[in-house]
Structure 1
Amino acid sequence: MVATPIGNLADISLRTLHLLEIADRVACEDTRHTQALLRAYGLERAGDRLLALHQHNEAQAAQQVVAWLNAGERVAYASDAGTPAVSDPGARLAAAVREAGLRVVPMPGASSVTTLLSAAGCAGEGAFVFAGFLPSKAGERDAAVAALAQEPRPVVLLEAPHRIEALASSLAVLGDRLVTVGRELTKQFEEIATVPCARLGDWLAANPQRTRGEFALALHGAPAAPKTGEGERVLALLLPELPVKTAVKLAAEISGEPRNALYDAALRMKKET
């Protein structure tokens, strides 16, 4: 499973270039795109050594890859850009190869997800949610945004240029919550900006070029709800009668406060008694 550059052709590893050179065959999302990529590195292949494997034929083409592997051939799979099987074809291929008792070897490399997070400054604690592409229908997209309204972890979204304005409209209901938008990451006209969700549409409209290219967005985590003290009050009543985990679970359900924080409070209370 070969990760390929998401823009800048220099973002490829020496290990990946070696693998592409020695592979007997290359399966890929788009043979024309991958042939151009290989040509850029001096690794152009004969047409019969390339296999199109995309969302419309992945199950069938995966069986051809399995047959080649069983015959002792080395097969590389590359999506058009970034890491395969993450909002791109490849997951069913990897599953089919694994189920056949064969080895799936990941070749790490470019990813718009981690590229954006490294510049967004919102995932310092390490936890984030990858939501990928939200639904294209307005009602379903608005419902998905509403479900993320209280998410305390950063949420990474992907979007195509023809839908970015619609996504900005849906995100506007989140008001002052910050979103970092990455446009054309690693490419010549890369832009990264952090704005309130309510202003994302204005940011796009400020320059006609901003609705072009591929987008990754990092929705910053929702601010933690202020502590009410209700959770610890309930804990104090429950702990003398119940095990710690049970008391914490009930206190969280009653107060709506985070379970992890209440668990820490419960341990502190136990030490103090």
Structure 2
Amino acid sequence: MSGSLYVVSTPIGNLDDITRRALAVLGEVSWIAAEDTRHSQNLLGHVGVSTRLISYHDHNEAQRTPELVSRLREGDSGALISDAGTPLVSDPGFRLVRACQDAGVPVVPVPGASALLAALAVAGQPSDRFQFEGFLPAKGAARERALERLAGSDATTLIYEAPHRVLSLLEALAPKVTAERELTLCRELTKRFETVRRGPVPEILEWVRGDKDQQRGELVLVLSPAVRGEVLDERDRALARALLEELPLSRAARVLAAHTGLKRQALYTYLEAINS
């Protein structure tokens, strides 16, 4: 009989958020595969678990996966954790879970903390339908395409972003959405300096630009859905920028409304935002 792989969620900040079931599993398995063993050792030490840690991260995932599957097939049970939160959410582990399933090894979820769901719960944005973009590409055409996709999405969108890139992300996003489009910035959730603030994208941009503290720590951004019928595609956004170079705002909005069939006032607000 093979062992089982337990996919165990761990706290995203507050260590008291670990579940009783997670504690029991981590204490009973033969080994724990962890992204950063030094970081995870701090957690295990805090909760009194002495199970052996095995390094498992992006750079050794392909090499380590067959070894761990072999251990499981021989009867060991193991756990997979990430540095914080739920494994596989923008973290390594997909290969191991898939390999275990292919080998007939049971994969058992042990749910718990998740920065993604914690942010969605407190964002004040529609939550009946949402999508997760993870970390956007850092630069170039791929990043631009991702931003265009966000601007046109009619579902609430959650994004992870590195603190040193959050300001540039907001600066790039603001011209692509209407001025009323909202964004909730969730920073350092469950930690000492936890911050949650919701507002129009330009307002959040100015707040982050003026407060360096908001450019630190772990960040989740929650963007409200685009309003159906008020979304410009990439070609029409290029036309909008060209019109602004030649015409006053009100005239540009009237021409764009005639071209697209969208409401002039909504287009005026959009043009005002990208012209500021």
> Is the structural similarity TM-score above 0.5?
yes
Q: Does structure 1 residue 12 correspond to structure 2 residue 18?
A: yes
- Equivalent pairs counted in the alignment come to 225
* Counterpart Cα distance in 2 of 1:63 and 1:32: 23
Asked if the contact 1:184–1:190 (Cα under 8 Å) also holds between the matched residues in 2, the reply is yes
Q: Secondary structure of the residue that 1:149 maps to in structure 2? A: helix
Asked if the contact 2:124–2:198 (Cα under 8 Å) also holds between the matched residues in 1, the reply is no
Deviations 1:47-101 (A, max 9, x none): xx22101011112111111111111111011000111111001111101111111
Q: 1:181 aligns with which of 181, 185, 196?
A: 185
1:171 equivalent in structure 2:
173
Asked if the contact 2:27–2:50 (Cα under 8 Å) also holds between the matched residues in 1, the reply is no
1:197 equivalent in structure 2:
201
Matching of residues 115-264 of structure 1 within 5 Å: 115-124=118-127, 126-173=128-175, 174-176=177-179, 177-225=181-229
How far off is 1:198 after superposition? 2.0
Q: Secondary structure of the residue that 2:151 maps to in structure 1? A: coil
Give the counterpart letter for 1:205 in structure 2: R
Deviations 1:193-212 (A, max 9, x none): 01211233211123221111
TM superposition score normalised by structure 2:
0.78
1:263 equivalent in structure 2:
none
Asked if the contact 2:9–2:110 (Cα under 8 Å) also holds between the matched residues in 1, the reply is yes
2:28 equivalent in structure 1:
22
Asked if the contact 1:175–1:198 (Cα under 8 Å) also holds between the matched residues in 2, the reply is no
Q: Does structure 1 residue 114 correspond to structure 2 residue 117?
A: yes
How far off is 1:14 after superposition? 0.4
Asked if the contact 1:172–1:200 (Cα under 8 Å) also holds between the matched residues in 2, the reply is no
Give the counterpart letter for 2:18 in structure 1: I
* Counterpart Cα distance in 2 of 1:220 and 1:44: 43
* Counterpart Cα distance in 1 of 2:212 and 2:124: 27
Asked if the contact 1:7–1:187 (Cα under 8 Å) also holds between the matched residues in 2, the reply is yes
Higher mean displacement: 64-73 or 141-150:
141-150
* Counterpart Cα distance in 2 of 1:163 and 1:97: 36
Asked if the contact 1:53–1:61 (Cα under 8 Å) also holds between the matched residues in 2, the reply is yes
1:244 equivalent in structure 2:
none
1:61 equivalent in structure 2:
64
1:238 equivalent in structure 2:
none
Q: Secondary structure of the residue that 1:109 maps to in structure 2? A: coil
Q: Does structure 1 residue 51 correspond to structure 2 residue 54?
A: yes
* Counterpart Cα distance in 1 of 2:174 and 2:209: 14
TM superposition score normalised by structure 1:
0.78
Which ranges of structure 2 fall in alignment gaps of 5 or more residues? 1-6, 231-260, 262-276
Give the counterpart letter for 1:208 in structure 2: K
The 4+ residue runs of structure 1 with deviation greater than 6 A are: none
How far off is 1:138 after superposition? 4.4
Which ranges of structure 1 fall in alignment gaps of 5 or more residues? 227-255, 257-273
